[in-house]
Amino acid sequence: MTAPEPSAAPPKRERQRRVRELEVVVARVRRETADTTSLFFAADEPFEYEAGHFCTIDPHQFPVLKHFIAHLEDLKGNREKPRAYSLGSAPHEEHVLITIKEETYSSGETPYPPLLSPLLANHTPVGTCLVINGFTGAYTLPRDAAERIDQLVHVCAGSGIVPNLGLIKSSLHRNDPFRHTLLYSSKTRQDIIYYQDFEELQRQYPDKVEVIHCLTREEPAGLRGARRGRITRELLQEVIADPARALAFTCGPGITPYERKAARDKGEEPAPRFVENMVALLHEAGLDRKQVKQESWG
């Protein structure tokens, strides 16, 4: 995960105090798409976090991964690190929600096969106990947002939608005085994560929530307000009422460390992915650097 505005995050000491080990139990499992699963965590103590935060999960706690971890650590020459998962829940909700998209291994494109996500997505039934570390991250709403913003623009792709669901739910719960516009890029209707959640939010808050699905591999038949194709500068300019009074959150695939190294070894610049492209388009649409918060995965 990356976030370009460390100045917008809480002070370092405050973040360190907030991050701690928590024992949780899986209270609910919900399949979102063919390759995406949501886990709802419960705990004996209150969860303390901000919408947009993430938690980390150490794969070493799962005995079934023991030999896979040992093999990967031999190959890499260092210890396997915890994996970060954005929260799709809001602080007022009972459970902490993470949503896991099954990673795939592509020979020549990624150096190692996925380790933890397939286990969490497919073999973590209700009642499973585990330890998470939480919570932190700079992908959060600035405390003075209501004083200077009329519109929050969420520009997401794939599982990049996860923290934005939490941001939207939390803002609506507080009755913040701005409108949320979500542009969500998916390959097909069947790939849309949280489809029913957003339908319900639009029904409950018709004056505050607008969702525009952008499908890249099929016609969006039957989807209200949906578009065919990728998110463009023209679409951003169409939906952003006043660039001077907007704040954008964009999350999705970004350039990975592996891609940066591969490009550097060739003496090239890595090709931009979704987040890098969206940041550039948001700037072209009239938002300056301080008006764009980004987070990437990959």
| pLDDT of the residue at 63 | 97
- Please give the structure tokens belonging to residue 23: 């024992």
- Please give the structure tokens belonging to residue 42: 């419960």
What's the rounded Cα separation, in Å, for the pair 278 and 272? Answer: 10
pLDDT in tens, the chain (298 residues): 333 333 333 444 444 456 899 999 999 999 999 999 999 999 999 999 999 999 999 999 999 999 999 999 999 999 999 999 999 999 999 999 999 998 776 666 677 889 999 999 999 999 999 999 999 999 999 999 999 999 999 999 999 999 999 999 999 999 999 999 999 999 999 999 999 999 999 999 999 999 999 999 999 988 988 999 999 999 999 999 999 999 999 999 998 888 888 889 899 999 999 999 999 999 999 999 999 999 987 5
Residues 158 and 122 both lie in one domain? no
83 occurs within a structural domain: yes
Total structural domains in the chain? 2
Residues 80 and 158 both lie in one domain? no
Range of the domain at 254: 145-297
Residues 93 and 220 both lie in one domain? no
Task: For residue 20, give the CATH number of its domain.
Answer: 2.40.30.10
1 occurs within a structural domain: no
| pLDDT of the residue at 91 | 98
**Amino acid at position 185, single letter:** S
177 occurs within a structural domain: yes
Give the strand order in the sheet containing 151-157: 227-228, 209-215, 179-186, 151-157, 246-253, 292-297
165 occurs within a structural domain: yes
| pLDDT of the residue at 236 | 98
Q: What is the bridge-based pairing of β-strands 36-42 and 96-101?
A: antiparallel
Could you give the 3-state DSSP secondary structure of residue 251? Answer: strand
Residues 164 and 293 both lie in one domain? yes
111 occurs within a structural domain: yes
Residues 53 and 178 both lie in one domain? no
Q: What is the bridge-based pairing of β-strands 20-33 and 36-42?
A: antiparallel
41 occurs within a structural domain: yes
Which residues, in sequence order, are bridge partners of residue 228? 215
Of 107, 136, 165, which one is at a domain's C-terminal end? 136
Instruction: Dump the DSSP string for 134-195.
Output: EEE-S-S--TTHHHH-SEEEEEEEGGGGHHHHHHHHHHHHHT-SSEEEEEEEESSGGG-TTH
Task: For residue 157, give the CATH number of its domain.
Answer: 3.40.50.80
Segment (H or E) for 120: helix 117-122
First to last CA, the chain: 8
Q: With beta carbons less than 8 A apart as the criterion, state whether 47 and 23 touch.
A: no
What's the rounded Cα separation, in Å, for the pair 288 and 126? Answer: 44
Question: pTM of the prediction?
Answer: 0.91
Residues 231 and 117 both lie in one domain? no
| pLDDT of the residue at 19 | 84
- Residues recorded for the chain: 298
